[in-house]
Structure 1
Amino acid sequence: MMILPTHAAVAQNPAEIEVARGYFLKGDYERCLEACLRAKPNEKNFAAFGAMEIRVLLQTGKITEALKRSSILWRSSPDNPELALVLAQAHKANGQSVRADAMMARALAADPATPIAGESNNVVAYGELQNANGMDAKSVLTLYFEPAKKADPAGRAAYLAIGRLALECHDRQLAAENFSEGLKHFPGDSEFLLGLNQAGLALPKDLQKPDENILTYLDLALRANPKSTDALLYKADQLAGKKNYKEAKSVLDQIFAINSEHPEAWAKVAAIALLEEDASRASAALTNARKFWRNNPAVSETVGLTLAAHYRFEEALKFLRQASLEDPQSAAIRLELGSNQLRFGQIEEGWKNVEFAHEADPYNVAAFNLITLRDKIQDYPVLDKDGVRLRMSPEDMAVFGKRALETAVLAKKTLTEKYKVSLSQSVMVEMLPRQEDFAIRTFGLPGGESFLGVCFGPLITMTSPRGRLGRANWEAVLWHEMAHTITLDATRHRIPRWLSEGISVHEERQAQTGWGQGMTAEYRERFLSGKMPAILNLDESFAGPDILFGYYHASLVAEFLIERFGITSLNAFLGDLSAGKPFDQALAARTLPLAELDAEFAAYAKKTAAAYGPDLDWSPLSDEEYLSYRKDPAAWVSAHPKRYASAMMWISKLSEEKNWKQAKSELEKIIIAEPNNREPYNP
């Protein structure tokens, strides 16, 4: 059994520690600290109060004070796992990793307590210590967390620990199950609510309150605890991922109001500064992030992952390598490093790091998936020509491998010449036969059904036609992705997503009639009515339901820039981005002041939209018109010959009646009216 302090323990109402924890979970850190300081050394829950006290001090940025109190508290209960875990965090936060390791080792030397109802916290903490000491996740779950949960089903710690460990191992299903179970026992608990959001669960519609800005579990978590720095940091990360840097920085300021020394928040500030090409601000933020712990791996990891999410792989890998040096045994860091190396074309080193992560933690779902896929595709044949390497299954290679290679080579040649780019390494195209294989190679996990292909720069991943029958033209997708390779390289991955997508769709249309998105009646109406974001705000269209319109809108901007200012000007602009010039300044310098540019583009878009079936009436039929049409379709169409919706319904009726001659005649009229018809229901 666990060694207890030699002094006799005085009985105490267990509810008092829960009251203190309740204060903490609501963000009332002052009252929580007051409750902790009232605890006496001879009280049974003194170690738990001590752990809570240190958590409050760390949460509120009192890093040095946390270290001083840790030394005192450790002498009272050196073998208590819950206390040792938090005291070690306090010492690491102050850069004293050796002392932190010694504290954890002392607690691990004692046998873990047997979990019983109401007494599982220390068993869970012992498991967390074992995990920090290198025990694999599966063993920690089996030996400590699951027994604690079984013995103490009403306890909070096991649900939270299992959920968090599952998230670290990319097992979102297990994480969601345990956070959901925990929330049933502890309704409104901010940490369980945050966990559900991190596990990818959508807030049920009946719980959403749009008028109160409650749309996600994260919103509920912050409603429950507005001072949760974990939730605020997660929110800032989401905003930064959408390139909403202004709001992200505002959320980070909220964190600094609670904890001015928060290292990961300062790391996020540094990452955003790098994305905004502000090296001076990034350096200052990194200095703040490393103020107390110079070699904090979380700082380097945070910056690296943020940059990688924006495809800034060259810089991201530097930070992730540094994080790996700062914590050589971290399987999670090695996995992130390896995954991003694989995306950036550093294949051999990337697989080594993923394999390290898998061997260190066989339970990690993403590492397992990648290693399983590697073993499956490593014997796939590879064709190599003119700076393009193509990997496909033997079955696909035999059928269209040569054609795929020629398409990729032609796209590379055409686009490098047009955009004056000389690629420094070969482009690897991996066309995988199953959607699941594509998703794992691309994202590490199954999913991503909406993606046909993804480009990371020197790596293009796609599903083969066998994997997505009838969904898209694979040659057009390949051309689209190769255009991404060119524009990413031309700008050193500094091009906004919308412009890269816009150029790619534009180049599809340039390569082949029928490729790429075109004007539709819906888009026509939006352009004519001016219902579109400004050019600088186009990335917003790629973060919600407007994404399909965003692709076409962006492609029309690319077309406009080339027609109005010329390809030489566009290439110079891309070069400015590569040199680190802010996007808005570079765009204005190579084109027009932005207000004038928006006005000129709006006129161009309206002109383009108006030219789409100008003699047709694209509006849908109202209910009354539809009823009138149903009474006598032929008469209605004769009276409204330019009405597209009724014409197509009439043609369908003629086809059903096998009146092919008249159907063909009607179709020809529609085609003449708009030869480039891109409607979902078209001739």
Structure 2
Amino acid sequence: MNMVRSVAVGLLLASPVTSAAPALAATPSDCDTLRHHGHRVEAQACYQSLTLSADPYLRAEGFWGLELYQDANTAFRDAVARADGNALYRVRWGRLLHERFNDTDAAMLFSEALQRDPRNAAAYMGLALVSAEGFDNKAQEYLAKALQLDPMLVEAHEELATMALEDYDVPRAVKEADAALRSSDEALDAMAIHASVEILSDRSPDGWIQRFLNVNPSYGQGYAIIASQLVINRRYQDGVAYYRKAIDLDPRLWSARSAMAINLMRLGQVDEPQRELELCYNNGYRDPATVNSLRLLDSSKNFVTVKDATTIVKLHMKEADVLRPYVEPLLKSALATYGKKYSTTLKEPVQVEVYPDHEDFAVRTLGMPGLGALGVTFGSVVAMDSPSGRKPGSFNWASTLWHETNHVFVLEMTNHRAPRWFAEGVAVHEEGQGKPEWANRLTPDVVVAMAQKKLLPIAELDRGFVHPEYPEQVIVSYFQAGRVFDYIQDRWGAPAIVDMVHRFGMLEPTPDVIRHTLGLEPGAFDTQFQAWL
């Protein structure tokens, strides 16, 4: 399908273009270099000069640089119409659309570019960005192709580093970030990835932060990259702090401002997220997460809040009287059970929000509808489906609440350092400890994965939760992680699990926790676990 047609992009909002222009003709690369180094005023003038060109492609780049997105979209359409065989124009138009939340048409443009130039590395880079946005396993394939065609493509190495760190593969993340820096000693995102590695390891990131600030003193995106990695690791308060640093440096970095607001919502706040999301919306940043979160905040008036010293329960007014007698006692029971098991008292009340509309719950957790999960925990805040949010008999709300409450304890006790496989595995295990009928169940997907030997080594189990390689891998990983702790309790006893919680709180990595608690090398544990399973 040819993309020479109208394509929807976000609303524009920027200063009007003036007639002032530099004496010498500028190129998009000139303008981008000025922006890369934080010379905002000079970059603005450069982009404005491009808008005066007779070439629609140059005008498109100029309008884009000035955040005049509709004008840029129109100019790109004109450029493609005049030069149908030009792959570059389609790639750049696709990048604009990707930036403005239209990945469907962006992917089509990248594919059309490859039809015209099968060796276009930038087109593969574009497809990788679209795929990575949805945690699609094809992103790595596209990035490998892009680097095969252009081994010096900095952005591809940076994206691989980002994905590796999301998979908790620190050595690979460092390797790819270093490759980007070998290609360019001004690879800002690679520096931010290095800074992220340091802070996730509880070391000072200051050296790497200063390094990207030396190149661009207003590079708020560097702080936003760190914030994003902290959020993926469920360190929400730390993530919010770094998003604040990002928008302090670059107040018009709307993506960071929106992400900060959504994470404040996750921490149970309402007023500041409302203000920040409205500011984003009014300045033309209207991605689905921002819009959906604003709509959800508007619906908060429909909820009833019940508080005491240890719990905050938010229920929709239409079912509060029915649910409260069930939710409150179960929550109290979970708090008592885990408090005794872990010999600890939580520092603050647990807030539980129960949503009768599953799509509202999905927006509450991700900013987007379509989430398959039943419950999510953000520190001391739990959001979950109401029994009325799913078809009768399709899920057990009580076991979900029991599962999520365990996350509150494990995250607090480890200072949010527990890896995902561990936190999810313990919570699945504890469902079965709560009631036998809540226990981890074998499904056909799991049987197939076991038969095909697709279970991951324990040292790599996080990967199955973050970047699944086949559609059922997340479900399989939940089952595997839960059964790991069934096995540990069966062989080493429940105290071993509690000891592992404390060791993760002391920042020990998974291989060391396995060695010190269970007395086995991770590979030996895998072999013995498989035999037990």
**TM value normalised by structure 1:** 0.66
Quick one: which amino acid aligns to residue 390 of structure 2?
Answer: R
Aligned partner of 1:559 in structure 2 is 486
Deviation at 1:341, TM superposition (A): 1.9
Residue 101 (structure 1) aligned with residue 41 (structure 2): yes
What is the rounded CA distance, in whole Å, between the counterparts of 1:444 and 1:151 in structure 2? 35
Kept in 1, the 8 Å contact 2:114–2:120? The answer is: yes
What is the rounded CA distance, in whole Å, between the counterparts of 2:145 and 2:449 in structure 1? 35
Quick one: which amino acid aligns to residue 142 of structure 1?
Answer: Q
What is the rounded CA distance, in whole Å, between the counterparts of 1:357 and 1:214 in structure 2? 29
Which of 241, 244, 263 lines up with 2:169 in the alignment? Answer: 244
Deviation at 1:294, TM superposition (A): 3.8
Deviation at 1:346, TM superposition (A): 3.8
> Deviation string for 1:269-289 (max 9, x for gaps)?
221233234x15x44333333
Aligned partner of 1:456 in structure 2 is 378
Q: Secondary structure at the match of 2:60?
A: helix
What is the rounded CA distance, in whole Å, between the counterparts of 1:368 and 1:528 in structure 2? 44
Kept in 1, the 8 Å contact 2:254–2:285? The answer is: no
Residue 316 (structure 1) aligned with residue 236 (structure 2): no
Deviation at 1:578, TM superposition (A): 2.5
Which protein is bigger by CA-based radius of gyration? 1
Deviation at 1:184, TM superposition (A): 4.4
Aligned partner of 1:197 in structure 2 is 128
What is the rounded CA distance, in whole Å, between the counterparts of 1:221 and 1:342 in structure 2? 38
Q: How does 1:356-435 map to 2 (within 5 A)?
A: 356-435=279-358
Residue 504 (structure 1) aligned with residue 427 (structure 2): yes
Q: How does 1:120-199 map to 2 (within 5 A)?
A: 120-131=56-67, 140-150=68-78, 152-153=80-81, 154=84, 159-199=90-130
> Deviation string for 1:87-140 (max 9, x for gaps)?
344345445x3xx314414653x694486xxx2122112212321xxxxxxxx3
What is the rounded CA distance, in whole Å, between the counterparts of 1:401 and 1:439 in structure 2? 22
**TM value normalised by structure 2:** 0.83
Kept in 2, the 8 Å contact 1:534–1:598? The answer is: yes
Which of 90, 95, 99 lines up with 2:33 in the alignment? Answer: 90
Kept in 2, the 8 Å contact 1:120–1:157? The answer is: no
Kept in 2, the 8 Å contact 1:267–1:289? The answer is: yes
Residue 220 (structure 1) aligned with residue 142 (structure 2): no
Kept in 1, the 8 Å contact 2:180–2:187? The answer is: yes
Quick one: which amino acid aligns to residue 74 of structure 2?
Answer: E
Q: 1:224 to 1:529 in 2, by over 3 A?
A: closer
Q: 1:364 to 1:215 in 2, by over 3 A?
A: closer
Structure 2 gaps of 5+ residues are: 1-20
Kept in 2, the 8 Å contact 1:202–1:216? The answer is: no
Q: 1:93 to 1:484 in 2, by over 3 A?
A: same
Kept in 2, the 8 Å contact 1:386–1:409? The answer is: no
What is the rounded CA distance, in whole Å, between the counterparts of 1:528 and 1:572 in structure 2? 32
What is the rounded CA distance, in whole Å, between the counterparts of 2:89 and 2:316 in structure 1? 44
* Aligned Cα root-mean-square deviation (Å): 3.5
Q: 1:570 to 1:325 in 2, by over 3 A?
A: same
Moved more, 509-518 or 532-541: 532-541
What is the rounded CA distance, in whole Å, between the counterparts of 1:156 and 1:426 in structure 2? 56
Aligned partner of 2:24 in structure 1 is 76
Which of 575, 578, 585 lines up with 2:505 in the alignment? Answer: 578
Q: 1:156 to 1:405 in 2, by over 3 A?
A: farther
What is the rounded CA distance, in whole Å, between the counterparts of 1:91 and 1:528 in structure 2? 56
> Deviation string for 1:238-261 (max 9, x for gaps)?
122111222222222221221133
> Deviation string for 1:542-567 (max 9, x for gaps)?
33444434323322332344455555
Q: Secondary structure at the match of 1:389?
A: strand
Deviation at 1:509, TM superposition (A): 0.4
Q: 1:393 to 1:175 in 2, by over 3 A?
A: farther
Quick one: which amino acid aligns to residue 501 of structure 2?
Answer: L
Q: How does 1:449-488 map to 2 (within 5 A)?
A: 450-469=372-391, 470-488=393-411
Kept in 2, the 8 Å contact 1:104–1:129? The answer is: yes
Q: Secondary structure at the match of 2:389?
A: coil
Kept in 2, the 8 Å contact 1:304–1:320? The answer is: yes
What is the rounded CA distance, in whole Å, between the counterparts of 1:120 and 1:520 in structure 2? 56
Q: Secondary structure at the match of 1:430?
A: strand
What is the rounded CA distance, in whole Å, between the counterparts of 1:221 and 1:174 in structure 2? 20
What is the rounded CA distance, in whole Å, between the counterparts of 1:556 and 1:343 in structure 2? 29
What is the rounded CA distance, in whole Å, between the counterparts of 1:231 and 1:187 in structure 2? 17
Which structure is higher in RCO with an 8 Å CA cutoff and minimum separation 6? 2
Deviation at 1:185, TM superposition (A): 4.6
Quick one: which amino acid aligns to residue 552 of structure 1?
Answer: F
Q: 1:350 to 1:363 in 2, by over 3 A?
A: closer
Quick one: which amino acid aligns to residue 537 of structure 1?
Answer: E
Q: 1:515 to 1:183 in 2, by over 3 A?
A: same
Kept in 1, the 8 Å contact 2:35–2:43? The answer is: no
- Aligned-pair identity in percent equals 23
Q: Secondary structure at the match of 1:390?
A: strand
Deviation at 1:384, TM superposition (A): 2.6
Aligned partner of 1:594 in structure 2 is 520
Moved more, 237-246 or 518-527: 518-527
> Deviation string for 1:481-506 (max 9, x for gaps)?
11112111111111111111111011
Aligned partner of 1:262 in structure 2 is 187
Quick one: which amino acid aligns to residue 571 of structure 1?
Answer: V
Deviation at 1:517, TM superposition (A): 0.8
Q: Secondary structure at the match of 1:290?
A: helix
What is the rounded CA distance, in whole Å, between the counterparts of 2:46 and 2:456 in structure 1? 60
Q: 1:586 to 1:605 in 2, by over 3 A?
A: closer
Quick one: which amino acid aligns to residue 505 of structure 1?
Answer: V
Moved more, 504-513 or 535-544: 535-544
Kept in 2, the 8 Å contact 1:499–1:554? The answer is: yes
Kept in 2, the 8 Å contact 1:146–1:158? The answer is: no
Aligned partner of 1:331 in structure 2 is 254
Deviation at 1:363, TM superposition (A): 3.2
